[in-house]
Amino acid sequence: MGCWEAQKGFCPRKGKGKGCKWCEGAPDSAGKGKGGGVWQPQFQKSWGSSWAGKGKGKGKGKGKTPAKKTENALKVWVGGLPQKFSFKALQAHFDQAGKSTWAEGGKGGNGSVCYTTEAEVYNAMTLLNGSVFEGNIIQVDQWVKKPTKADS
C-alpha cells in the first residue's frame, strides 16, 4: 500500500499513478526506496514495531546469586531436600553449624548453603549430614563443581 492518493490510482506529487518519494517505501512499489510505508499516528502503531528488539526488560533479575559468587571451598552441597520448603528454614537449620550467608534449593531435591569460613563448612558436613529437615533425612557434603563437557 502506498500513500492514500496512490491507492486511488493517482498521486498528485509525481504524476498519474506513478508514485512519489512518499510512496516508494510502500510494499506495493516492488521494494523501491526505503522507509516503512505509510505514516500512521502513534496510537495506531503496533506495540511490536515500537518495542521489539530494543532489549529492554530482558533478563531482568537474572544476575549471579550469592551462591555463584561464593568460592567452592565455602559451600556445601545438600541432597534429599523436600520438594517445597522455605529457604529461611533451610538457612536456620544450617545455622546450627555456623552462621550461613546464603541457602538455596535446586532441581531434584538438591541445594547449596554458603558460609564465610572453611571451619563452618566442615562443621556443617560433620554435624548436619544425616540430620532431619522438614521430615526428610538430608545429605551434606563438600561442594564439587559439576564437570563440564570439556573436562570429560
Q: HSE-up of 47 (CA within 13 Å, CB side)?
A: 0
Q: Which domain holds residue 121?
A: 66-142
pTM (two decimals) = 0.56
The answer to whether residue 94 is domain-embedded is yes
Please report, for the domain that includes residue 135, its CATH number: 3.30.70.330
Report if residue 7 sits inside a domain. Answer: no
Q: Is residue 113 part of a domain?
A: yes
Give 65's pLDDT tier (boundaries 50, 70, 90). confident
**pLDDT tens digits, one per residue of 5-63:** 556 666 656 555 555 665 665 554 444 445 556 676 766 655 554 445 555 555 566 66
| pLDDT score at 110 | 93
Per-residue model confidence as pLDDT tens digits over 92-110: 999 999 999 999 998 889 9
Do the domain assignments include residue 27? no
Q: How many domains does the chain have?
A: 1
Q: At what angle do helices 87-94 and 118-128 cross, to 10 degrees?
A: 100
Q: What is the pLDDT of residues 68-84, one digit of tens each?
A: 888 999 999 999 999 99
